[in-house]
Structure 1
Amino acid sequence: MSSSISPTIDETLREEIILRPDMILDDRDLMQALIAANERAMGGNIVDLRGIAMERLEARLDRLEDTHRSVIAAAYENLAGTNQIHRAVLRMLDPVAFEPFLHDLAGEVAQILRVNCVRLVLESSQNDNDPAIRRLGDVLSVAEPGFIEDYLSDGRGAPLRAVTLRQLSEGAPELFGDKAQSMRSEACLKLDFGPGRLPGLLILGSEDPHMFTPQQGTDLLAFFAGVFERAMRRWLQ
């Protein structure tokens, strides 16, 4: 004669579960194991709609958690970018003379922004051979009127944006000089110096092809360009 003995759970563990059922409910792996055991007990010809609903809720929860992590990561990245631009602006406003202002732009400001090259293009209708411009040749270029529009539109006459981000096979030699071949992306900040003045262009060049891409936001760079415009107006008076 055979007897069936029902498996029992340790009494101490049983009492702990009764007192604290949430420790099972909050454990996803344990709950999934219990649900799987329940489905096996019901047999293969029974559809457990509650189990299907729970699986769908779990999938939705996973997607929400992924979205939550992505939003937090984007927020931290945006905060870091904001702090970076603010530091660059404060450093840019330190010099009280034009030449140190531009030298810092290609030096410490470029380092804060983590770019490999900074170029300022000013349009002029005169053939300017000012010695100061020659001394600033590592950062300043003087171009004929219309150059900036052609450069930004690639000669196609497309509408110009305040900030243009694009990837490069290489940089323009007339702007980047011996660094042109290593440039892989650039941010072009169109500058407005006020009524009656020709436009300017501030170019941030990077060897990283993913540093500046058309899919990125431009609000922070537009703010930086606005501060730069106002700083430059002091020297152009």
Structure 2
Amino acid sequence: MSSTTAKLDTPLRDAILAKPDAVLEDQGLMDALVTANERAMGSNIVDLRGIAMERMEARLDRLEDTHRSVIAAAYENLAGTNQIHRAILRLLDPTDFPGFLQTLNGDLAEIMRVDSVSLVLETLQDDGGAAAARIGDVLKTASPGFIDAYVGTNRGGPARQVTLRQMQGGTPKIFGNKADWIRSEACLRLDLGNGRLPGLLVLGSEDPHQFTPQHGTDLLTFFAGVFERSMCRWLA
């Protein structure tokens, strides 16, 4: 019986026999061996082992992708938690209300990585916002019912403490001269206690993807709760 099977050179064969694990760990080499084996078996033979290996490799790739996604989400959540913690600690530093408002549009905006911070307080006094303007451009006053109308509560939607949404330009009453550049916002409704009208903390961003309805609101809800307590201290 004659044979045309190619033989390995003796040094190459000896090298493979000396380190067979190296061959098994080389993905490209193993793929080439499997392909050569399939050609040798012919098209009429089903290589069940090869099919199983391909499926296992595909499953392993999916598991690795899932693992990377979980790790990335964990790091993102940790970064968000640390960000909220830093913002809360900064809120506790001011010793007077004007300093508190200055912190909102300064350090707090930087920590939260937003382009605008506005605090809206509903009031029965109609002075056109003159009193708020004297304190600074962060504080805005509005007539009763404005907050419900702004966040959409009066349209029959569920009352949520945190509302995230995208937009093509913000409301000048909220964002002032930055309104045209705002592309997303986070609205944090504030319960300032019995006998007081509600408030609203609005974080505006030029990034349309910073605040979207698909994002979680747990951290911002916690931040809103701390902010409420800080405001009640100043209003006492």
TM-score (norm 2): 0.92
Question: 5 Å matches for 1:40-189?
Answer: 40-127=39-126, 133-153=132-152, 156-189=155-188
Q: How far 1:128 sits from its partner (Å)?
A: 5.2
Is residue 223 from structure 1 mapped to residue 219 from structure 2 by the alignment? no
- Distance in 1 (alpha carbons) for counterparts of 2:140 and 2:174: 7
Q: How far 1:73 sits from its partner (Å)?
A: 1.1
Structure 2 residue identity aligned to 1:228: F
User: Per-residue CA shift, 1:202-221, capped at 9, x if unaligned?
Assistant: 00000111111110111111
Say which SS state the counterpart of residue 142 (structure 1) adopts: strand
**Match of 2:8?**
8
- Distance in 2 (alpha carbons) for counterparts of 1:108 and 1:17: 64
CA contact (8 A) 1:106 1:118 kept: yes
Say which SS state the counterpart of residue 155 (structure 2) adopts: coil
Structure 2 residue identity aligned to 1:40: R
CA contact (8 A) 1:149 1:157 kept: no
- Say which is worse superposed, 40-49 or 21-30, in terms of deviation: 21-30
Say which SS state the counterpart of residue 200 (structure 2) adopts: strand
Rate the CA distance shift 1:10–1:230 in 2: closer, same or farther, 3 A: farther
- Distance in 2 (alpha carbons) for counterparts of 1:40 and 1:17: 22
Report the RMSD for the aligned CA atoms in angstroms. 2.1
- Distance in 1 (alpha carbons) for counterparts of 2:143 and 2:230: 23
- Distance in 1 (alpha carbons) for counterparts of 2:5 and 2:43: 26
Rate the CA distance shift 1:10–1:90 in 2: closer, same or farther, 3 A: farther
User: Per-residue CA shift, 1:117-149, capped at 9, x if unaligned?
Assistant: 000011112235797522234111111111111
- Distance in 2 (alpha carbons) for counterparts of 1:162 and 1:3: 81
Q: How far 1:188 sits from its partner (Å)?
A: 0.4
Is residue 22 from structure 1 mapped to residue 21 from structure 2 by the alignment? yes
Say which SS state the counterpart of residue 211 (structure 1) adopts: coil
TM-score (norm 1): 0.91
Structure 1 residue identity aligned to 2:71: I
Rate the CA distance shift 1:102–1:10 in 2: closer, same or farther, 3 A: farther
Rate the CA distance shift 1:33–1:199 in 2: closer, same or farther, 3 A: same
CA contact (8 A) 2:122 2:199 kept: yes
Question: 5 Å matches for 1:187-226?
Answer: 187-226=186-225
Q: Which runs of 5+ in 2 are unaligned?
A: none
- Distance in 1 (alpha carbons) for counterparts of 2:88 and 2:3: 84
- Distance in 2 (alpha carbons) for counterparts of 1:150 and 1:5: 83
